[in-house]
């Protein structure tokens, strides 16, 4: 399927690992020029080198904290300088930390999550995606073409109460609402705005999460994930490239009439009809 | 998509033609089901313009027979049911709302027949795609009075969601696309192009982990957050 985005300039935050890296790979495969941004310089450089080997001259990387408004502006300016105005912006900022070995998971249940964590999650998920959109919208409006995409979570639509997830359950819907409003506002300018709702995708982050959760519940990792996947109609976890392909489609020329949507890539887990 | 068998039901309506054109571009084996040779002519021409010179035409028969005939020529990997335009207006304003509803509901049955007929081979093969194309009114109140289409469309959406859970273990996916038919001119062209592209994407191997989805093709105009 020719997606018609050869030569388009893309920025992918959280682009050094997992779904962000897979998204960058798929966009490069479609002929885009891609700037990836992530916090850790070493991991970022590894990813840049890996991507550049397959797409020389079309990859750039900037180490940045995308939960800081100034840093987001710096990243977008770097993309503009290196490749030109940004056509495609993919916000892939993670929320709460997952550290199966030491700090644990800070997504919490309602009763045990300090209120300061809500503010932090709000900044990481909602403000960061808004800041990225804000930086790229002027160029997109001027060129009357743009794709803004936020990698979110199935919890935006169906809260997960069987796991400690109060923070994403609270903030993810707000992000979806933000993007729905932007979609309506920007449609006359040829700019689409969509959310990808992800879930059981086999990224290292998810593996870490289930490792921690299995230990918390006193079950083996295998038992933990087999129970999880058994609940999915498709009975298997997604691959990062499943997300990458879906994102590339929504960022395509052909998807110009698809905006304001929450596309869930969760193996059919969500049970609502709409 | 090259070589994959794609059967499109109601390929002779406007949305059907848009889907035909997009799928034809991908090099699939096209099987078109419609009312008559004459009504399928626009779909056949659209397919030819997109590179599929000889789509298979099935008419004068029901959905089950069309699937059987298409399967006689090779596997059907993708079955697409397109809802054609149904009597417009508010039920209360229709001369015979009861008849309009009953007549409309036959399209739910027709979708079910199409998918039921295509499913056994898909589940046996361990791979398949079922796609429904309906009106955006099935998800959102719009400026168009379309009570019958809304009721019928929602019925099929419910069936698709339930089906996604039932056939997911066989790696058969079920997704729906809802299009906004209000725009005219360039806006309508954009929406129909997007509708076709969405169908081609859901029909492709690239969407193997997506199931139970309802995506509106409406340039962000209708509906709520979800």
Q: What is the CATH number of the domain that holds A165?
A: 3.40.50.720
Residue A110's CB is within 10 A of a number of other CB atoms, namely 11
> Is residue B88 domain-resident?
yes
For chain A, give the mean pLDDT.
Answer: 92
pLDDT of res. A188 = 95
Interface predicted TM-score (ipTM): 0.86
Domain count, chain B: 1
pLDDT for residue A76? 98
Average pLDDT, integer, range A33-41 = 97
For A81-94, write each residue's pLDDT tens digit. 999 999 999 999 88
Q: Is residue A230 part of a domain?
A: yes
Chains A & B: contacts with CB separation below 8 Å: 122
Q: Is the pLDDT of residue A165 over 90?
A: no
Percent helix / strand / coil, chain A, rounded to 5: 50, 15, 35
Cβ of B133 under 8 Å from any chain A Cβ? no
Name the minimum distance, in Å, from the CA of A96 to any CA of chain B.
24
CB contact under 8 A, A183 and B216: no
Give the CATH number, domain containing residue B49: 3.40.50.720
Tell me what the pLDDT averaged over chain B comes to: 95
Residue B223 included in any domain: no
Domain membership of residue A4 (yes or no) is no
Q: Which residues of chain B does A246 touch, with a Cβ-Cβ cutoff of 8 Å?
A: 206-207, 210
**Closest-CA distance of chain A to residue B47, Å:** 16
Which pLDDT tens digit goes with each residue over B8-35? 999 999 999 999 999 999 999 999 999 9
Residue A208 lies in a domain: yes
Report percent pLDDT > 70 for chain A.
Answer: 96
Q: Is the pLDDT of residue A101 over 80?
A: no
B165/A261 touch (CB, cutoff 8 Å), yes or no: no
Q: Do A257 and B210 count as a contact with CB atoms less than 8 A apart?
A: no
User: Is residue B226 domain-resident?
Assistant: no
- Tell me the pLDDT band of A62, cut-offs 50, 70 and 90: very high
Residues for chain A: how many in total?
274
Q: Which of A1, A184, A272 sits opposite B204 (nearest CB)?
A: A1
Residue A153 lies inside a defined structural domain of this protein: yes
Is A17 domain-assigned? yes
Domain around B175: 5-217
Residues of chain B with C-beta less than 8 angstroms from the C-beta of A148: none
* Residue B41 to chain A, least CA–CA distance (Å): 25
Domain that holds residue A164: 9-265
User: Which residue in the set B166, B210, B225 is minimally distant from A246, CB to CB?
Assistant: B210
Instruction: Give the chain B residue whose CA is nearest to the CA of A240.
Output: B209
pLDDT exceeds cutoff 70 at A105: no
Look at A257 and B219 and tell me if their CB atoms are within 8 Å: yes
HSE at residue A200, side-chain half, CA atoms within 13 A, is: 22
Q: Let me know how long chain B is.
A: 226
Model confidence at A201: pLDDT above 70: yes
Query: Is B49 a domain residue?
Result: yes
Say what percent of chain A tops pLDDT 90. Answer: 68
């Amino acid at each position: 399927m020719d997606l018609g985005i050869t030569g388009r300039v893309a920025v992918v935050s959280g682009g050094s690992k997992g779904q962000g890296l897979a998204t960058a790979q798929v966009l490069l495969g479609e002929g885009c020029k891609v700037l990836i941004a992530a916090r850790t310089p070493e991991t970022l450089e590894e990813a840049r080198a890996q991507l550049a080997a397959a797409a020389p001259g079309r990859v750039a990387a900037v180490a940045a904290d995308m939960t800081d408004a100034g840093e987001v502006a710096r990243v977008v300016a770097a993309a503009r300088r290196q490749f030109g105005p940004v056509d495609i912006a993919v916000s892939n900022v993670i929320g709460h930390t997952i550290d199966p070995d030491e700090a644990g998971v800070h997504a919490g249940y309602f009763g045990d999550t300090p209120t300061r964590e809500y503010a932090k999650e709000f900044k990481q998920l909602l403000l960061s995606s808004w800041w990225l959109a804000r930086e790229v919208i002027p160029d997109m409006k001027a060129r009357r073409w743009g794709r803004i995409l936020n990698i979110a979570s199935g919890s935006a639509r169906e809260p997960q109460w069987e796991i400690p997830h109060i923070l994403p359950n609270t903030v993810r819907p707000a992000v979806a609402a933000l993007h729905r409003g932007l979609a309506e506002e920007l449609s006359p300018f040829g700019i689409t705005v969509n959310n990808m709702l992800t879930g059981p995708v086999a990224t290292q982050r998810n593996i870490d999460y289930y490792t921690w959760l299995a230990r918390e519940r006193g079950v083996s990792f295998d038992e933990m994930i087999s129970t999880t996947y058994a609940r999915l109609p498709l009975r298997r976890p997604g691959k990062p490239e499943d997300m990458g392909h879906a994102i590339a489609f929504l960022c395509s020329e052909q998807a110009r009439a698809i905006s304001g949507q929450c596309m869930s890539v969760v193996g059919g887990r969500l049970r609502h009809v709409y | 998509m090259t070589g994959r068998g794609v059967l499109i039901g109601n390929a002779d309506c406007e949305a059907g033609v848009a889907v035909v054109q997009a799928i034809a571009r991908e090099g699939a084996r096209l099987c078109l089901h419609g009312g008559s040779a004459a009504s399928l002519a626009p779909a056949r021409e659209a397919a030819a313009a997109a590179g599929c010179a000889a789509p298979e035409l099935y008419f004068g028969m029901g959905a089950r027979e069309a699937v059987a005939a298409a399967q006689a020529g090779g596997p059907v990997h993708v079955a697409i049911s397109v809802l054609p335009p149904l009597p417009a207006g508010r039920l209360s304003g229709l001369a015979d709302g009861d008849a309009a509803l009953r007549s409309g509901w036959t399209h739910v049955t027709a979708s079910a027949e199409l998918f039921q007929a295509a499913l056994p081979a898909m589940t046996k093969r361990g791979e398949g795609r079922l796609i429904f194309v309906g009106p955006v009114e099935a998800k959102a109140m719009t400026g168009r009075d379309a009570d019958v289409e809304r009721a019928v469309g929602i019925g099929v959406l419910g069936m698709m969601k339930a089906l996604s859970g039932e056939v997911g273990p066989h790696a058969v996916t079920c997704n729906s696309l809802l299009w906004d038919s209000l725009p005219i001119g360039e806006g309508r062209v954009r929406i129909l192009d997007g509708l076709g592209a969405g169908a081609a994407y859901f029909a492709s191997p690239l969407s193997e982990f997506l199931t139970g989805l309802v995506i509106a093709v409406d340039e962000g105009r209708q509906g709520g957050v979800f």
